[in-house]
Structure 1
Amino acid sequence: MSTPVIISFGVAILLGVAGGLLTEVGAWYHGLRKPRLNPPDWLFGPAWTIILGLAAWSASIAWEAADTDGERRLVVLLFGANALLHLLWSPLFFKWKRPDWALVEVVFLWASLVALVVGLAPISRQASLLILPYLLWVSFAAWLNWQIVRLNPRPA
C-alpha cells in the first residue's frame, strides 16, 4: 500500500473514531423533537463509515493524480479544512448541546465539500465524484439540524 493510501485511510479512521467519541446520544438528544425523516440512531455509524471511506479513497486518488506540488498542496488544504470542520460539528451539537451553533457551522462544512468537489475536479474527476455522497449526506444533515433548531427553540 502506498503512503497516501495509508495516511488518507488513517485520517478517515481517526475522524470516525473522534466523531463517535464526540457524539453523546443521551437523554438530551432523545428528548429533542425531530422531523419525521430523522434516521434511526443505528444508521449514522454505517453511513459515516461509508462516507469517510469514500473520502479517504478520494484523497488518495487525488494525491496520486496531482501533477504538481501546487495541486498536492491544494488536495491537503481542501481535505484538511474539511477534516477540521467535520470534527467541529459533533461537539457543538452533542457536547455543548447547541444545535443552533452547529447549524451555523454546518454551512462551512457544506462549503468545504463543495470546495472539494470543485477543487478536485481538474485534478481527478473520480476523486471529485467520490465526495458527492458526503456532500449529499451533509446536505441532508444540515436540513435535519435546521429542523431540530426550528422544532426546539432555545429559551431566551
Structure 2
Amino acid sequence: MEVAIAVGWALALGLVGGLLTDVGDWYAGLRKPSWQPPDWLFGPAWTVILGLAAWAFVLAWRGTDESGKGLLLGLYAINGVFHLLWSPLFFKWKRPDWALVEVAFLWASVLALAIALRPMSVLASWLIVPYLVWVSFAAILNLAIVRRNGPFAPRRASL
C-alpha cells in the first residue's frame, strides 16, 4: 500500500506539474540569470527528486506507527498542494512575483518533511535533502527572474 501511495504521489506531482508548466514565448522572453540550468534539465531533476521523496515516504511509513502514518500522509498532501501551486502561478498566470511568495510555503513544507521523517527513518530524512536543495535553488532563481523582469501586472481581459 505504501509503495502505491508513494508512486502515485510522485507520478501525480511530476505529470500534473509538467502539464502546468508552459515554457512558451512569454517564458523565453524573460530576462534570466546566466547561471540558470538549461530547460531540459528540469524534467530529469524533478524525476530524481520526486523519486527520492517517494522512497523516503515508503521508508518513513515502514518506520512509524499508525499515528505517525497520519502525520506522514498529511505532510505529503500539504507538500503536494504547494508543489502544484507554483507552476500555474509562474507559467499559466505569468506571475513570478506571486510564485516567489508561494515558493516560501513549498520550501517550508519540504523542510517539515525532512524534520518530521527523521524519527521515522534517518535515511528517509536524508532522501528529502535534494528536494530541499532544489527548491532552495528554484527560489533563488525565481527571485533573480523577478528582480530582472518585475513588476508583473495581472493580465487584463480583452473587450
Check whether TM > 0.5.
Answer: yes
Aligned counterpart, 1:47 = 45
8 Å Cα contact 2:95-2:152 kept in structure 1: no
Aligned counterpart, 1:150 = 147
Encode CA deviations 1:49-75: one digit per residue, 9 max, x unaligned: 000000110111111111x22111111
8 Å Cα contact 2:60-2:121 kept in structure 1: yes
Offset at 1:123?
A: 1.1
Runs of 4+ that moved beyond 2 A: none
Report matched runs for 1:108-147 at 5 Å: 108-147=105-144
In the aligned structure 2, how far is the partner of 1:4 from the partner of 1:118? 20
**Alpha carbon RMSD of aligned pairs, Å?**
1.0
Amino acid at match of 2:22: E
In the aligned structure 2, how far is the partner of 1:51 from the partner of 1:9? 13
Aligned counterpart, 1:91 = 88
Distance 1:98 1:64, change over 3 A: same
Offset at 1:113?
A: 0.8
1:62 aligns with 2:60: yes
TM-score, normalized by length of structure 1? 0.95
Distance 1:142 1:155, change over 3 A: closer
- Of the three residues 25, 30, 33, the one matched with 2:31 is 33
- Of the three residues 6, 17, 20, the one matched with 1:19 is 17
8 Å Cα contact 2:97-2:152 kept in structure 1: no
In the aligned structure 1, how far is the partner of 2:57 from the partner of 2:74? 11
Encode CA deviations 1:125-155: one digit per residue, 9 max, x unaligned: 0111000000000000000000000000126
Offset at 1:6?
A: 1.6
Amino acid at match of 1:149: V
SS in 2 for 1:25: coil
* Gaps in structure 1 of 5+ consecutive residues: none
Percentage of pairs with the same residue: 61
Distance 1:155 1:145, change over 3 A: closer
Encode CA deviations 1:70-90: one digit per residue, 9 max, x unaligned: 111111111111011000000
* Gaps in structure 2 of 5+ consecutive residues: 154-159
